[in-house]
Amino acid sequence: MHSLSQEIQGFSKNRLKKQCTRVTTVTGRRLLERRGDGGGGEGEEQVEELEEGGGCGFVEDTSLDLQVGVVRPFLLLASQDAAHDIDTLQRCKVSHVLNVAYGVTDLFPDQLVYKTLQILDLPDTDITSYLGECSSFVDQAREQHGVVLVHCNAGVSRSSSIVIGYLMLREGLPFDDAYSQVKLARPSIRPNPGFYQQLQTYKP
């Protein structure tokens, strides 16, 4: 019996050692949860931070994602939470909002200039077909010395793809450079596989 209980204990300890989960919080923080050997066969949890989300420091309220990525002084990227938070908009001096979400209302039409395109976050949506129209709106804001906030629902796929496309179209950046710069500004971005592929092969 003794050897069987030793075997079971050894087995569970080995199993526990291998458990390792990557977690990305809504504020863009990336954590590594590791459950390992805490001695005596008990599973001990450890959490370490992989990289900091940048932006406005740590927002403890995990129900809202108010992190605003500054891609260019006139070009910001965020989720609908930031687009619906007047304090965030005023602090970031936003004058124009490019809303590329589906079914998200524009809350401050009397104070800000809006352009709304209902884009579906699906891999087969032709995201590049929207780049000309979106880039013209960004240019218009820039000419008026304004600041544009581009957002979708989560600020992860559609809006990031539009901003990457803008850098490729207007600044002539290759995809890898444009993607890296946008990811640096907002670490939580993740264009869906279809958008990623379309932008990789996009020739402005």
The answer to whether the CB of 41 falls within 8 A of the CB of 9 is yes
pLDDT value of position 24: 64
Q: Is residue 59 part of a domain?
A: no
pLDDT at 56 over 80: no
At 179, is the secondary structure helix, strand, or coil?
Answer: helix
**Catalytic residue numbers?**
152
Global model pTM greater than 0.85: no
Residue-range definition of the domain harbouring residue 19: 2-51
Beta-carbon count within 10 A of 142 CB: 17
Q: Please state, in angstroms and as integers, the Cα–Cα distance from residue 108 to each residue in 28, 78, 89, 114, following that order.
A: 26, 16, 10, 9
Rounded to whole angstroms, the Cα distance separating 11 from 16 reads: 9
On whether both 47 and 91 belong to a single domain, the answer is: no
Task: Look up tokens 């075997």; give the residue.
Answer: 7
pLDDT tens for each residue of 93-106? 999 999 999 999 99
- Please give the mean pLDDT across all residues of the chain: 84
Q: Is residue 86 part of a domain?
A: yes
Q: What is the dihedral of CA 153, 159, 161, 164, to 10 degrees?
A: -150
Rounded to whole angstroms, the Cα distance separating 107 from 54 reads: 26
pLDDT value of position 63: 72
On whether both 42 and 110 belong to a single domain, the answer is: no
Query: Phi/psi at 93 (nearest 5 deg)?
Result: 55, 40
Rounded to whole angstroms, the Cα distance separating 183 from 28 reads: 11
Q: Is residue 62 part of a domain?
A: no
Q: Is residue 64 part of a domain?
A: no
On whether both 90 and 141 belong to a single domain, the answer is: yes
On whether both 151 and 183 belong to a single domain, the answer is: yes
On whether both 96 and 195 belong to a single domain, the answer is: yes
pLDDT tens for each residue of 1-41? 556 666 655 554 444 444 556 666 666 666 666 655 444 44
The answer to whether the CB of 60 falls within 8 A of the CB of 80 is no
On whether both 93 and 175 belong to a single domain, the answer is: yes
Q: Any idea what the CATH number is for the domain that residue 182 is in? A: 3.90.190.10
Rounded to whole angstroms, the Cα distance separating 128 from 161 reads: 9
On whether both 31 and 121 belong to a single domain, the answer is: no
On whether both 30 and 131 belong to a single domain, the answer is: no
On whether both 94 and 152 belong to a single domain, the answer is: yes
On whether both 31 and 84 belong to a single domain, the answer is: no
The number of distinct structural domains making up the chain is 2
Who wins on pLDDT, 83 or 19?
A: 83
On whether both 80 and 31 belong to a single domain, the answer is: no
